[in-house]
Structure 1
Amino acid sequence: MNWNAIVIIICILITALAVWKEYVRANQSRLVLRLLTTITAVIALACIALPLTYQVDVNKQDKREALLLTEGFSADSVSKYNTEKIFTLNNTISKKIPKAMLIYDLADLKADSTITQIRILGDGLDKEELQRLDHVPVIFRPAAFKQGITAVSWNEHLKAGDEINVAGTYKNSLPGKIKLVLKGLSTGLDSVIIAPGEAVPFNLRNTPKNQGKNVYKLLAITGTDTLENQNIPVQIEPAKPLNVLMLTASPDFESRFLKNWLSESGFAVAVRSAISKDKFNKEFINLDQFPLDHLSASVFGKFDVLIADLSVLKTLNGVEAAALQQEVLQKGLGIVIRADSSLKSNSWLQRDFPSDRLAVKDPAPVSLNIQGKTGNTAKLNAGMVYLANQANTQSLISDEHGHVLAANALAGAGKLVFTPLNNTFSWILGGDKADYSSLWSLLITKAARKVATLESWTIKSVIPTLSNPVELQLESAVAPPLIQIDSTVISPIQNSKLPFQWTVNYWPKTVGWQSVKQNNGALNWFYVYSYDDWKNIRALKKQADTKAYVANNAINSNVTKQIHEKATIAVSKIYFYVLLLMACAFLWLEARFR
């Protein structure tokens, strides 16, 4: 039986019992009045429990518009609209505007069939909230953004030695200049000046010293006033030392400086340099010695990266070449190939990297653009050779004229990095060690053998905020029975189309770092911001989501004549509460004073 039938049956039974009680009581005075009052009380109770509605004829043009007040609205703007239906999801707003009805679910607006459209005042709603409107047309015209950070991003996960890069856009509407400062451990790390009346991009960088979980600060300062003080959470993991094998045609300065830099940076390095035919000079740094005269699959399997001259790779015998190709294609070994004078080759190592030469005989030194590094490097004599742009390769390093000087490409399970640069050591001689480190760190990182991960966590919510839903995504080959976030245990939701993907919805209770892991899994962390953090960015995100909803649910303005419809109106329960109270009060007083 449905709810209506259950309510009616229960009320009939109550009425029968109450009427019988009245007939059998000793005092029969005012019996008819008491029976009518008893029946009235039961009817009022039934009307409270039943969903009573009625229908009226309305014209579509006569339907009313509802106002929805969101954060950032102007109180003066409410009086501009002649409507009795004003709603809000915010408890603070409902206290500020008493006539705004507090609702907890946007589906309540859609349930009222007299509402043709909703006019949203303020910053709007996020994507999840807008889905609850279920395509109800919306009018939305947010106020123009005046002052502050309009966009920001940074690399939240770093390896030791990596550079944090905080980039974004700041709009300065003030008459004076504003200073943006990246701060860590109470120390200014980098800064930039924003001129008055400008909206310009900014970029702040620093190489963190402390490993683990860190929270940097991004400050906007004008004079002695701090306009913004935002948190920049960053996780810095210790760099995993890689095993590097170097094969050089002969001892030279480029190989010598590279070997020294690798050892200083904590890499385990084995170097084999040809002295004469079948005779080699071998060095082992941070690595136990082992036979290196003959290369085999077991030798290549000990290393994550191979750095080799192209001429050396071309002279490997058939067994060594086959072992190398198998290790790259099937097991993911990466190779950094240093090109030499011998550029033309049909080898699988060079097939994706066709080269060309400059037309000039004596090229001038140039600055290089290194992927992931802001600004150009110091001048370097890059030589005559450069690589042609290819659709299946990725440019890593180019000069100021756009010539590609390093690129990488996939090779089965591994990667190949190709570069004609052979005198980067001149940077170290000139004191530009940072440029040297950036270049070789990039080439080695791009080529290094990738370690398979058992699980991967992604925070889908842009800015996880206290007391707001946060969506986390787990990719795991093992089905996680339960997920633990701090002390809370949650059951994940499996993606019906991607069975290795799981979604976790969580409402944070505290600000700061939160731990998350699956049973017997590794411990991961994410940061939860306070309600006051990144307000401008969150407001702009809501505005963008609301504008997208408006564009996809446009109001149909082509109707030129009145359309008669039936509107369903819910009967207010307050009348039945009053009727029930009056009936109960009469029965109590009559019994007391009879």
Structure 2
Amino acid sequence: MQSNWPFIVIALCILLALGFIWLEYRRANNRFLLLRIVAAIIATAALACIILPITYNSSVTKRDDHKAVLPTNGFDADSIGDDSAIFTTDLAIKKAYPKAKLINGLDELSQTDRLHVYGYGLSSAELQQLDSLSLVFHPSKVPAGVTQVNWNGRLKAGEALHIQGQYNNTSAQKIKLVLRGLNTGLDSVILSPNVQSSFDLSAIPKTTGKVVFSLYADAALQGNIPVQIDAVKPLKVLMLSASPDFESKFLKNWLSENGYAVALRSAISKDKFNSEYINIDQFNLNKISEQTLGRFDVVIGDLSILNALSPTESGALKQEIADKGLGLIVRADSTGKTSWLQKYFPVDRASGKESAPAPLIINGNKSQSKLSYGLAHIVYQNGTQPLVKTAQDRVLASSAISGSGKVVFTTLNNTFSWMLSGNKGDYSALWSVLITKAVRKNDAVEIGIELLSPPYISDPVTLQISQGKSSPIIINGQEVALVQNPWIPFEYDLLYWPQTAGWQSLKQNDQASSWYTYARQDWKTVQNADKLSATKKYANTHKISDIVTKQIQQKIRIDVPKIYFYILLLVACTFLWIETKFS
């Protein structure tokens, strides 16, 4: 019955139309007969179209577009449409936004043509899982807190720890940034409101070993600062002094207090010397020979006494430096004759009044206290490395390579005044830099280990190791496989997933080392700022416009709106009614 319904309606409407035509034809008044017949046919046809479904076929172009939304930390739920397919790998986001579908990994989104990411975005490791999937990024605002941070994580005893970075203060109040260590405030800085400011904090640790400092913004912990502080390695030092003086006395005491083996020879008169021995066996220092110099790692001498050495002694010193890597630190105590010792270190003496005491720049770090440095300074030469400078960039200590060894030259002769004033920190920092730069290098090759990214708990971290040949690496008691770099034969990479925060032990053969893993909440704003940057960069190189979206031609059936037939029926009936009234 249902299949025959259109034919029944059409047949009835045809009979109805014929009946109306017959009635109009029989009327005595034949005025507008043709128009009346047409109106009757239109009325019955419109009635049939109202009863029956009237459709037509057409073809449309459809985009094969699988859109997906990935909310990340910091996203705004109101910005996500209700018609989107929402995915997440974060249980916390799933709990806060139940509409999201929990997936095991981002690689499950590979079938989507375009991905919309909201919030702070994804880390570099997470972006690699997308496998070049095109992405539209809807970033949140830069979070409040420390957005960038960096520090020197490996120190020698006496060296200053420097923490530099940027803080985004979104509040209308000033923020006090405090560096803390061993339950003590070490340094602080006040940051202006409603602005992103740079900061620089520093401190000289009073201990050695593995130490974890902390950075606070008011009372809120920003993150931990792991530092390894190495004790100054006990070295053998030969001091040659033109005469007993305070500079030599305090330096000798500082060296002995820090475990150095020291032999001191001071000139009393011509060819007569006074010798002192600390932490070292006594032997004859009247003549300086290759055998004598071979006992030491570094020689510290006044320029005048070094220039006064006999040709044999001077030749032995020069050869030991050039051939066997002995280090030499020269103190410019006079303006006497020049020699090979000043080949790279010409000294200039400024005219006028001596400058007031001022802080020094020691290996790039500003000293805590001031020091009077006199009028003499070293004229910079190509091939030298300034170690100590004034704020006006006058070089007060510099180093240069001499064969296998190094020569350090300094115009400072009153560093003992720091010790007299109780400032052991700056004194230790200065002499640690000079000795470390000059000291004879150990022939043993150290294995270089570098972290390619900051390690966080449960995240994969890549360690890059430089070594001559592959040897097993043990991390926290577990052997980890190495992969050799195909382009650099002495570099090996390993991938590791730390399961606990804190110091991680690393062993290779008889060598032991360590590195630090951060807790998930450590440097949270730094992580978010890094994700913003990484995701923006990824989105710019994987734009939606780069996709060739598949176009599909599809045939569809479209219903003709009934309103048109109602209008035709109304017009036809109205004409017939009016014509009947006025005929």
User: Which interval holds the TM-score relative to the shorter structure?
Assistant: 0.7 to 0.9
Cα gap change, 1:381 to 1:180, in 2 (>3 Å): closer
Indicate which of 480, 484, 493 corresponds to 1:503.
493
CA deviation string 1:104-125 (max 9, x = no partner): 4444434x2x61x433212222
TM-score by length of 1: 0.75
Cα gap change, 1:445 to 1:93, in 2 (>3 Å): same
Cα gap change, 1:203 to 1:449, in 2 (>3 Å): same
* Distance in 1 between residues matched to 2:355 and 2:94, nearest whole Å: 69
Aligned to 1:590: none
Is the contact made by 1:370 and 1:439 (CA closer than 8 Å) also made in structure 2?
A: no
Cα deviation for residue 375 of structure 1 reads 4.0
CA deviation string 1:319-355 (max 9, x = no partner): 33333233223332221111233377461x3222233
Say if 2:284 is the partner of 1:283: no
For this pair of structures, how many residues does the alignment match?
495
Say if 2:236 is the partner of 1:243: yes
Indicate which of 397, 409, 413 corresponds to 1:422.
413
Q: Percent identity?
A: 46
Say if 2:296 is the partner of 1:303: yes
CA deviation string 1:168-225 (max 9, x = no partner): 332322233333333333333333333433433333333334433333322222xxxx
CA deviation string 1:475-533 (max 9, x = no partner): 223421x3221132221112222222221111112222221112x33222222222222
* Distance in 1 between residues matched to 2:485 and 2:154, nearest whole Å: 26
Cα deviation for residue 554 of structure 1 reads 4.9
Indicate which of 517, 520, 545 corresponds to 2:507.
517
Say if 2:181 is the partner of 1:190: no
Q: Based on CA coordinates, which of the two structures has the bigger radius of gyration? A: 2
Cα gap change, 1:564 to 1:248, in 2 (>3 Å): same
* Distance in 2 between residues matched to 1:109 and 1:73, nearest whole Å: 19
* Distance in 2 between residues matched to 1:269 and 1:68, nearest whole Å: 66
Is the contact made by 1:300 and 1:324 (CA closer than 8 Å) also made in structure 2?
A: yes
Other structure's SS at 2:377 match: strand
* Distance in 2 between residues matched to 1:144 and 1:168, nearest whole Å: 19
Letter in 2 for 1:287: I
Aligned to 1:369: 360
Is the contact made by 2:267 and 2:274 (CA closer than 8 Å) also made in structure 1?
A: yes
* Distance in 1 between residues matched to 2:400 and 2:60, nearest whole Å: 67
Cα deviation for residue 474 of structure 1 reads 2.0
* Distance in 2 between residues matched to 1:443 and 1:283, nearest whole Å: 22
Is the contact made by 2:360 and 2:370 (CA closer than 8 Å) also made in structure 1?
A: no
Letter in 1 for 2:205: P
| Bigger RCO of structures 1 and 2 (CA < 8 A, at least 6 apart) | 2
Indicate which of 377, 387, 390 corresponds to 1:386.
377
Map 1:86-235; keep pairs closer than 5 Å.
86-110=86-110, 112=111, 115=113, 117-221=114-218, 226-228=219-221, 230-235=223-228
* Distance in 1 between residues matched to 2:258 and 2:536, nearest whole Å: 50
Other structure's SS at 1:523 match: strand
* Distance in 1 between residues matched to 2:79 and 2:336, nearest whole Å: 71
Is the contact made by 1:366 and 1:400 (CA closer than 8 Å) also made in structure 2?
A: no
* Distance in 2 between residues matched to 1:477 and 1:504, nearest whole Å: 16
Is the contact made by 2:158 and 2:432 (CA closer than 8 Å) also made in structure 1?
A: no
Other structure's SS at 2:92 match: helix
Deviates more, 1:60-69 or 1:383-392: 60-69
Cα gap change, 1:268 to 1:118, in 2 (>3 Å): same
Is the contact made by 1:343 and 1:355 (CA closer than 8 Å) also made in structure 2?
A: no
Cα deviation for residue 372 of structure 1 reads 4.8
Is the contact made by 1:366 and 1:399 (CA closer than 8 Å) also made in structure 2?
A: no
Q: Structure 1, unaligned stretches of length 5 or more?
A: 1-56, 568-594
* Distance in 2 between residues matched to 1:449 and 1:59, nearest whole Å: 77
Deviates more, 1:416-425 or 1:456-465: 456-465
* Distance in 2 between residues matched to 1:311 and 1:343, nearest whole Å: 7
* Distance in 2 between residues matched to 1:311 and 1:58, nearest whole Å: 96
* Distance in 2 between residues matched to 1:350 and 1:203, nearest whole Å: 36
* Distance in 1 between residues matched to 2:187 and 2:232, nearest whole Å: 24
Cα deviation for residue 128 of structure 1 reads 2.7
Aligned to 2:68: 66
Cα gap change, 1:500 to 1:66, in 2 (>3 Å): same
Letter in 1 for 2:460: P
* Distance in 2 between residues matched to 1:89 and 1:459, nearest whole Å: 30
Is the contact made by 1:180 and 1:219 (CA closer than 8 Å) also made in structure 2?
A: yes
Cα deviation for residue 291 of structure 1 reads 1.6
* Distance in 1 between residues matched to 2:236 and 2:322, nearest whole Å: 19
Letter in 2 for 1:406: A
Cα deviation for residue 151 of structure 1 reads 1.8
Is the contact made by 1:147 and 1:173 (CA closer than 8 Å) also made in structure 2?
A: yes
* Distance in 1 between residues matched to 2:221 and 2:275, nearest whole Å: 57
Q: Structure 2, unaligned stretches of length 5 or more?
A: 1-58, 554-583
Say if 2:479 is the partner of 1:489: yes
Other structure's SS at 1:542 match: helix
Indicate which of 383, 392, 395 corresponds to 2:386.
395
Map 1:455-470; keep pairs closer than 5 Å.
455-470=446-461
* Distance in 2 between residues matched to 1:498 and 1:191, nearest whole Å: 44
Say if 2:256 is the partner of 1:259: no
Cα deviation for residue 536 of structure 1 reads 0.9
Other structure's SS at 1:303 match: coil
* Distance in 2 between residues matched to 1:93 and 1:465, nearest whole Å: 20
Indicate which of 294, 318, 342 corresponds to 1:325.
318
* Distance in 2 between residues matched to 1:379 and 1:159, nearest whole Å: 22
TM-score by length of 2: 0.76
Is the contact made by 2:156 and 2:231 (CA closer than 8 Å) also made in structure 1?
A: yes
Cα gap change, 1:392 to 1:183, in 2 (>3 Å): same
Is the contact made by 2:355 and 2:375 (CA closer than 8 Å) also made in structure 1?
A: no
Is the contact made by 2:144 and 2:170 (CA closer than 8 Å) also made in structure 1?
A: yes
